[in-house]
Amino acid sequence: MSPESAKSLETKTKLLDGALRTLTEQGIAKTSARTVAAAAGVNQALVFYHFGTVDELLAAACRYGAERSVARYRQRLAEVTSLSELLAVGRRVHEEERAGGHVALLGQLLAGAQTHATLGPATAAGLELWITEIEQVLTRVLASTPFGEFADPAGLARAVAASFVGIELYEGVDAAGATSALDALEQLGVLVAALEDLGPVAQRAVRHHLRRTGRR
């Protein structure tokens, strides 16, 4: 579509990577055309030449980075078939995120989107990539749970994604607290997972009860 020269594309890529690095390492408050350009090793004014405004650079970086991040986990998530597996994968993802910080980056953009109108749609789109993956996993995983037929995977996927962002942000100010939060969730997940092998009779009883009582 756009017959882009190699030179232009190289500069753009440098800026996108620089934006991601600056956002994760410095946060939205310290992210500016100058700091990003410094991280990218190019002249500050190129931000405006190639992307128009700082916000549009950040929006583009969000799309660029979110796709790359989700791709890293897509394979692993696709192989998950049970709740306990999902919990294990979730824990692994968190370990990697502690280093990479791609989820906390979404938190920074979410915070920035409050004012910078351009960032809103881009950030929502970036989160949507995560949500899509999570929704697929949840749909598979919840099926084998007594809650399966009642729960809404689409809504839950949004809740999980947003919660994870919140927890990764929380980790920045209280690492021990974040760990205990994840431990507690994991333990809760293990309990629900235990319901998966309740035995067919008991499981049917629970389902039946939920059907009568649990409807809103």
Partner DNA sequence: GTCTATACATGGATAGAC
Partner DNA sequence: GTCTATCCATGTATAGAC
Binding site for DNA (CB under 7 A): 4-5, 7-8, 10-11, 30, 32-35, 42-46, 48-50, 53-54
104, 169 Cβ separation under 8 angstroms: yes
Q: How many CA atoms lie within 13 A of 65 on its CB side?
A: 28
CB of 37 to DNA, least distance (A): 8
Distances (CA, A) of 213 to 48, 207, 210: 59, 10, 5
Which segment (3-11, 65-73, 88-96, 179-187) binds a copy of itself by CB under 8 A?
A: 179-187
Binding string, 122-141, against a copy of itself, x = CB under 8 A?
A: -xx--x---x----------
The vertex-59 CA angle with 76 and 124, nearest 5°, equals 60
Distances (CA, A) of 161 to 19, 89, 106, 107, 208: 22, 14, 10, 11, 30
| Closer CB to a copy of itself, 10 or 174, in the complex | 174
Residue 127 touches which member of a copy of itself, DNA, none, C-beta under 5-8 Å by kind: a copy of itself
List 1, 6, 29, 99, residue binding a copy of itself (CB under 8 A): 29
Binding string, 67-106, against a copy of itself, x = CB under 8 A?
A: -------------------------------------x--
| Closer CB to DNA, 50 or 207, in the complex | 50
| Closer CB to a copy of itself, 47 or 131, in the complex | 131
What are the DSSP calls for 94-127, one per residue? HHHHHHH-HHHHHHHHHHHHTT-TTHHHHHHHHH
Taking the C-alpha atoms of residue 140 and residue 215, their distance in angstroms, rounded to an integer, is 22
